[in-house]
Amino acid sequence: MLANNVIAVTSGKGGVGKTTVSVNLALSLARLGKNVALIDLDIYGFSVPKFFNITFKPKTFNGKIIPVESHGVKIMSMGFLLNGNDPVVWRGPMLGKMVQHFTEDVLWGELDYAILDMPPGTGDVALDMHYFIPQSKELIVTTPHPAATFVAERAGTMALKANHEILGVIENMAYFSPPGQNEKYFIFGKGGGDLLADKLCTEVISRLPLEPPREDGIVPMLYEEETLLYTYYNELAKRIDSLMNDA
């Protein structure tokens, strides 16, 4: 079971960096010494197993699933349930009740945080999440582009209507600074994150610059120690930790 420490990372549009944020935030919280779960609820577009290079299936115990542990994070993903025989317990029609199974039928143990990588938009998984995990808090990810913030506003409004607290907005790909320079280039426009935060009565808690992750790294798409975003994610994890403890 998941307790009071669930953070749903959501967005309106796909491709704005929701999974990248979920994965790197989970790892940064783990670096703070927290017990962290990362739950990939992106049923059609799951990518967390690929991010972590996990190619095997989780084991089961007494009909429950033991999450896969990687880099100090306990992981569960739709990707583990497909293209294979195990675990049998979640096959077929049960996939429709995925959110409930992911929360109730996985041996999570003691957790400080559970990060949910939500699918884009306001579909069934978002509705189920609101129903089964009413205590979850939300982080809204957007780029500064008006098209992204316009759609993200709907995801945020849905959260508010379901009485979920919004922890804040993360403006991803906020700007580009050439290596070694302070100059900022606002490739996707400027001010979208602030506008969205105003509309949702919250604030922008992080502006993450454009910095391509190393796709050829041991764990693709993770920001490693030498990158600028590694520092930004460490700061974000501290901010989230204090926001969650103040709440």
Q: How far is the CB of 128 from ligand ATP (least distance, A)?
A: 17
Residue 87 in contact with residue 58, Cβ under 8 Å?
A: yes
Between the CA of residue 86 and those of 9, 41, 204, what are the distances in Å?
28, 18, 41
CB of 16 to ligand ATP, least distance (A): 5
What is the C-alpha separation between 112 and 99, in angstroms, rounded? 19
Q: Which of residues 67 and 213 has its CB atom nearest to ligand ATP in the complex?
A: 213
Output the CA torsion sign for 60, 65, 68, 69. negative
- Residue 60 DSSP SS3: strand
User: At its nearest, how many Å lie between ligand ATP and the CB of residue 172?
Assistant: 5
Chain residues binding ligand ATP by CB under 6 A are 11, 14-20, 42, 45, 47, 120, 172-173, 208, 210-213, 221
State the minimum distance, in angstroms, from the CB of residue 206 to ligand ATP: 10
DSSP 33-48: T--EEEEE--TTT--H
Burial of 74 from C-beta contacts in 10 A (0-12 / 13-18 / 19+):
buried
What is the token pair recorded at 37?
């779960």
Q: What is the DSSP string of 198-231?
A: HHTT--EEEEEPP----TTSSSTTPPPTTSHHHH
Closer to ligand ATP by Cβ: residue 110 or 215: 215
Residue number with CB closer to ligand ATP (151 or 197): 151
Q: Residues annotated as binding site for ATP?
A: 12-19
Which of residues 11 and 28 has its CB atom nearest to ligand ATP in the complex?
Answer: 11
Rg, Å, the chain Cα set? 17
**Least CB distance from residue 61 to ligand ATP, whole Å?**
30
- Gap between the Cα atoms of 157 and 7, Å rounded: 16
Q: Residues annotated in the binding site, as ranges? A: 12-19
Compare residues 105 and 117 and give the one whose CB is closer to ligand ATP: 117
